[in-house]
Amino acid sequence: MRGSIIWLVLGIIVAVAIQSALPRITVSGIPFTPDLLLVFLALAGVRKGRIFAVFTGFSLGILQDLTTQVNLLGLYAFIKSLSGYALGTIFQYREYWNRTVRLLAVMVCFLIHFGIYAFVTLYGSEVQIIDFLRLIFIPALLNWILYIILEKLFFDLKVG
Amino acid sequence: MLPFRWIYLNRELMSLAITAGVSLLLFFNNDTPEMRGAQAIIADVNKIISSPQRVYFDLLAVRRENEVLAESVTRLQLLNSKLLRYQYEHDRLRSMLNLVEDSPVNLLPASVINQQLSASVRSITINVGSEQGVVVDQAIMDINGLLGKTIAVGVGASRVQLITDINYLVSVRVGDQRHLGIYKYSDTTRGEVENIPRSADVEEGDLVVTSGISEIYPPDIPLARVISTSRSADSPFQKIIVELLADITDLNYVFVLSQ
**Closest CA–CA distance from residue A40 to any residue of chain B (Å):** 13
Calculate the alpha carbon distances from B69 to B65, B72, B75, B126 in Å.
6, 5, 10, 22
Examine residue A15 and state whether it is found in any structural domain, yes or no: yes
pLDDT in tens, A3-16: 777 877 887 878 87
Residue B152 and residue B37 in contact, taking contact as beta carbons nearer than 8 Å: yes
A124: left (phi over 0), alpha (psi -120 to 50) or beta: left
What mean pLDDT comes out for the span B4-10?
82
Contact B120 A88 (CB under 8 A): no
Mean residue pLDDT across chain A: 84
Residue A37 located in a structural domain: yes
A to B CB pairs, distance under 8 Å: 133
**B26, A77: Cβ pair inside 8 Å?**
yes
A84 bridge partner residues: none
Residue A160 has what pLDDT?
44
A74–B25: do the CB atoms touch at under 8 Å?
yes
* Within a domain: A90: yes
Residue-wise pLDDT tens digits, A124-146? 777 777 777 888 898 899 999 99
Residue A108 inside a domain? The answer is yes
CB contact under 8 A, B35 and A73: yes
Half-sphere exposure of A150 (CA within 13 A, CB side): 18
A27 CA: distance to closest CA in chain B (Å): 13
Task: Answer whether residue A140 is part of any domain.
Answer: yes
Closest among A33, A30, A75 to A57, alpha carbons compared: A75
pLDDT classification of B116: cutoffs 50, 70, 90: low
**Beta carbons within 8 Å of B130's beta carbon, 6+ residues apart:** B153, B154, B155
Are B136 and B153 within 8 A, CB to CB?
Answer: yes
Domain ranges, residue A149: 2-154
Q: What is the CATH number of the domain that holds A100?
A: 1.10.1760.20
In a domain, A78, yes or no: yes
CA atoms lying within 13 Å on the CB side of residue B48: 7
Q: What is the pLDDT of residue B100?
A: 59
Distance from CA of B143 to the nearest CA of A (A): 20
Q: What is the pLDDT of residue A159?
A: 46
- The number of distinct structural domains making up chain A is 1
DSSP, collapsed to helix, strand or coil, labels residue B196 as coil
Burial class of residue A67 in the structure, from the number of CB atoms within 10 Å of its CB (0-12 exposed, 13-18 middle, 19+ buried): buried
Higher local confidence (pLDDT), A24 or B176: B176
pTM of the model: 0.66
pLDDT in tens, B71-93: 788 778 778 777 888 888 888 88
Share of chain A above pLDDT 70, in %: 88
Specify whether the CB–CB gap between B190 and B208 falls below 8 A: no
pLDDT of A2 > 80? The answer is: no
ipTM of the complex: 0.82
Portion of chain B with pLDDT greater than 70, in percent = 93
Query: Which residues of chain B lie closer than 8 angstroms to A67, CB-CB?
Result: 42, 46, 114, 117-118, 123, 125
Half-sphere exposure of B219 (CA within 13 A, CB side): 9
Number of H helices and number of E strands within chain A?
Answer: 7, 2
Examine residue A39 and state whether it is found in any structural domain, yes or no. Answer: yes
Summarize the confidence of residues B54-66 as an average pLDDT.
Answer: 78
Q: What is the pLDDT of residues B208-252, one digit of tens each?
A: 999 888 888 888 888 999 999 988 878 888 989 999 988 877 777
Residue B13 pLDDT > 50, yes or no? yes
Task: Examine residue A159 and state whether it is found in any structural domain, yes or no.
Answer: no
Task: Determine the Cα–Cα distance for residues A151 and B8; give it in Å rounded to an integer.
Answer: 32
CA dist B200 and B208 (Å) reads 14
**What confidence category does residue B115 fall into, taking pLDDT thresholds of 50, 70 and 90?**
low
